[in-house]
Amino acid sequence: MILIDEYAEQELVTFLDAFKLAPEHATRCIHFQFENKESTAGLREVLIASAQRHLHASDPKIFFCDMGDIVLLAEPLASKDGNLVILDVVDHVKKPADQSWVKFDELSRQVNTLLMRVEPVLESQRMAEEAVRKLQEQQQLARKRHAILSNGANTKSSDIQHRRTSRPTPELMMIEDDAFSRRLVETVLQKKYALTSLSDANHAFETYARIAPDLLFLDINLPDVTGHELLERLLAIDPDAHVIMLSGNADQANIVEAMRKGAKGFIAKPFTKEKLFQYIDRCAGISTKQHSISVS
């Protein structure tokens, strides 16, 4: 005897699909339909005892489905033995046997009916599991966003300003998740400037506070948090931050949002080295340091 309690609907559909490909016409089925699983309380023990008494010559499989149905499959299963099992169940549930809740027939004649009953329930279970999975992902993302945006909360803007002004040479920083764009900027700028680049925002605040860059190139479409959120948080920590936004989405609303939050400029992808240097040249902090270097 094989009892299937966990994932019974899925196991039953798997069995029925295989049966349709290679039907065993000697297999017979007793299908009990109940409103829900609570209605089957105590029936597990009843069916086990009944099968042991009456179906000792066969090897029945009994599926206890979450939706409340119980499906017993056996080969061979004599009519007399199957009816004795049904009588045991009838005695337990105290209601007469009729086609509304119990069917006993060849599986080949019941297989499609069983599939039509079980598959919608299985799909509903899949949708419920998917909803739970998505909710868990959203909660995990929310926790990660909170952790990223809370990082650096104790950083003093005066410390960042001191590091920036006490450094004689310009320092640039970039946060860009697109590897191609990141390499392009690195190739263009590292020949002339010290540049620190990050592929995500996970360590953005601690790196920014440590480097105190004169200019930050910040991608809008980052994983976990948006560049807009990061910009707002950076300016709260460092009001003097000079941030240029990068994005492949150059629609007017995106640009306005970036400028409203305090960005000093916006570069649409794909960008040119001329555009990058144009914004670097406009940065007063960098221009002052470059002037001091040339004078000295």
Q: Could you tell me which residues come within 8 angstroms of residue 36 by beta carbon, excluding any fewer than 6 positions away?
A: 67, 68
**CATH label, 2-126, candidates 2.40.160, 2.40.50, 3.30.70, 2.30.230:** 3.30.70
30-89 pLDDT tens trace: 999 998 888 888 899 999 999 999 998 778 999 999 989 999 999 889 999 999 999 999
User: Over pLDDT 70: what percentage of the chain?
Assistant: 98
With beta carbons less than 8 A apart as the criterion, state whether 5 and 50 touch.
no
In 3D space, the residue among 41, 19, 12 whose CA is nearest the CA of residue 122 turns out to be 12
Give domain limits for the chain. 2-126, 157-295
d(CA 10, CA 270) in angstroms, rounded, equals 49
What integer pLDDT is reported at residue 291 of this predicted model?
63
Q: Which residue has the higher pLDDT, 294 or 122?
A: 122
* pTM strictly above 0.85: no
CATH fold label, 157-295: Rossmann fold (3.40.50)
CB atoms within 10 A of CB 128: 10
Per-residue confidence (pLDDT) for residue 61, from 0 to 100 = 95
Residues 6+ apart with CB under 8 A from 230: 148, 149, 175, 201, 204, 218, 222
The dihedral through the CA atoms of 244, 250, 256, 257 has a sign that is: negative
In contact, 33 and 68? CB cutoff 8 Å? yes
Integer Cα distance of 46 and 249 in angstroms: 65
Query: With pLDDT > 90 as the criterion, what percentage of the chain qualifies?
Result: 69
Coil, strand or helix at 222: coil
CA-based nearest residue to 206, from 231, 239, 234 = 234
Q: Within 10 A of 92 (CB to CB), how many other CB atoms are there?
A: 16
pLDDT at 292: 67
State the Cα–Cα distance between residues 168 and 145, nearest whole angstrom.
Answer: 35
Helix (H) or strand (E) segment spanning residue 195:
strand 194-198
CA distance 58 to 24: 14
* CB neighbours of residue 35 within 10 Å: 10
pLDDT at residue 126 tops 80: yes
Single-letter code of the amino acid located at 238: D
Number of C-beta neighbours around residue 115 at 10 A: 17
The helix (run of H) or strand (run of E) holding residue 118 is helix 107-150
Predicted confidence (pLDDT) at residue 295 exceeds the cutoff of 60: no
Q: At 15, is the pLDDT very low, low, confident or very high (cuts 50, 70, 90)? A: very high
> What's residue 271's pLDDT?
83
Tens-digit pLDDT profile for residues 109-118: 999 999 999 9
| Per-residue model confidence as pLDDT tens digits over 180-192 | 999 999 999 998 9
For 142, 143, 159, the CA distances from 136, given in Å and listed in that order, are 10, 10, 38
Q: How far apart are CA 239 and CA 236, in angstroms?
A: 6
> Tell me: the pLDDT tens digits for 245-278?
998 877 788 888 889 999 999 998 888 889 999 9
